[in-house]
Amino acid sequence: MDLRQLSALTAVADHRSFSAAARALHTVQSNVSAHIANLERELGTPLVDRTTGLLTEAGELVVVRARRVQAELEALAADVASSLGEISGVVRLGVIGTTGRWLIPRLLSELADAHPKVRLVVIDATTTSLLPQLAAGSLDLAVVNLPAVDPDVDTEDLFEEEHVLLLTDAHPLAGRRSVNLTDLAGVPLLLEPAGTGFRDDLDADAARAGVTLTAQAEVDGMRLLASLAYQGYGAAILPASAIVEWSDGTWSTVAVEGTTPRGVGLATPRRGRLSAPTRSTIEVLRRVIADEVPARPLLHLRPAERS
């Protein structure tokens, strides 16, 4: 077993065909086929279904570990390079869109000043999408909605944010300074799907208030929920950082009382040691959070983070 075989298999997993994997690896298809065939002979089982290009169950198991091996090798190279001088290397950061909108511009600027040889690759996605990538080694760290439950991931608190109701000025609840969850009984709402951390916490708060929230539609993605609300498709309950400044003035935000603030945290893989560039990125990220959050309406540093 060698690294070329593992790289070939992960490329097929990512690109769903031998030809596409070959293009991604800048080689020919026969090399990819040979590497995978040799790996299959060594392991004694098919790893790729040749009719569909999809991995077999055994292939999925191998790819999970292969990604961890590749991540460790990248971290090793970055640590050695950093020990010889300036910290350098690639850091793959996942981030939920509502936080990334204001965090990433400042993070890119300050990281470039502090560690100009660190290259940040940013993946904008939902928490439910980011956690598996983090556990598999495709990401080095991620900013996610809490709680984030995964046996292969560690988390730390960063900040929390209040809930707001985003609606057009034509909505019956427009013009109010605040609403309680009890005021929303029977009101059609744009919500995240059940099973996501934000929705489950919201449903728990509603249950304690003795009401059941009514989903007009369920969308896994805060920015899309906000966009739908801005365009008048319904009222959405959102974290405060999902609100952006629009100039047309046809929408309103109303504070939602009786809800538990949403927690946002930093998630890292539980297995393996973080690379030097990743650790340096985390240090800069914490500084940016500590500086930015107090200046943003309805966002609060967690008690342990307050100075």
CATH number of domain containing 256: 3.40.190.10
Write out pLDDT tens, residues 231-241.
889 999 999 98
Residue 170: predicted pLDDT? 86
Co-location of 301 and 183 in the same domain = no
Residue 165 near residue 237, CB atoms below 8 Å? yes
Which domain range does residue 226 map to? Answer: 163-260
Identify whether 269 is preceded by a cis peptide bond (ω within 30 of 0).
no
Q: How confident is the model at residue 303 (pLDDT cuts 50, 70, 90)?
A: low
What integer best gives the mean pLDDT of the chain? 88
Q: How confident is the model at residue 96 (pLDDT cuts 50, 70, 90)?
A: very high
Write out pLDDT tens, residues 48-70.
988 888 899 998 888 888 877 87
pTM equals: 0.72
Co-location of 41 and 179 in the same domain = no
Co-location of 151 and 272 in the same domain = yes
Measured distance CA(111)–CA(201) in Å, rounded: 33
Write out pLDDT tens, residues 147-177.
888 888 999 999 999 999 999 888 888 889 8
Residue 80 lies in a domain: no
Co-location of 233 and 283 in the same domain = no
Residue 248 lies in a domain: yes
Residue 288 near residue 301, CB atoms below 8 Å? no
Of 203, 94, 218, which Cα lies nearest the Cα of 144? 94
Co-location of 287 and 142 in the same domain = yes
Residue 76 lies in a domain: no
Residue 270 near residue 151, CB atoms below 8 Å? yes
Co-location of 147 and 201 in the same domain = no
Residue 79 lies in a domain: no
CATH number of domain containing 18: 1.10.10.10
Residue 291: predicted pLDDT? 95
DSSP 3-state of 31: helix
Co-location of 138 and 277 in the same domain = yes
Longest alpha-carbon distance in the chain: 69
Co-location of 128 and 98 in the same domain = yes
Residue 121 near residue 281, CB atoms below 8 Å? no
Tallying the residues shown for the chain, one arrives at: 307
Q: How confident is the model at residue 306 (pLDDT cuts 50, 70, 90)?
A: very low
Residue 112: predicted pLDDT? 95
Measured distance CA(11)–CA(21) in Å, rounded: 5
**In this predicted structure, which of 21-25, 38-42, 181-185, 270-274 has the lowest mean pLDDT?**
270-274
* Among candidate residues 245, 260, 275, the one where a domain is terminated: 260
Co-location of 254 and 183 in the same domain = yes
Residue 252: predicted pLDDT? 84
**Edge-to-edge strand list for the sheet holding 88-95:** 117-124, 88-95, 141-146, 262-269, 153-161, 299-301
Residue 249 clears pLDDT 90, i.e. is over it:
no
- Could you identify the residue written with the tokens 């936080």? 99
Co-location of 174 and 245 in the same domain = yes
Q: Copy the structure tokens of residue 160.
A: 């929390």
Measured distance CA(245)–CA(224) in Å, rounded: 16
Measured distance CA(74)–CA(10) in Å, rounded: 15
Co-location of 177 and 212 in the same domain = yes
Residue 73 lies in a domain: no
Q: How confident is the model at residue 217 (pLDDT cuts 50, 70, 90)?
A: very high
Q: How confident is the model at residue 265 (pLDDT cuts 50, 70, 90)?
A: very high
Give the count of domains, the chain. 3
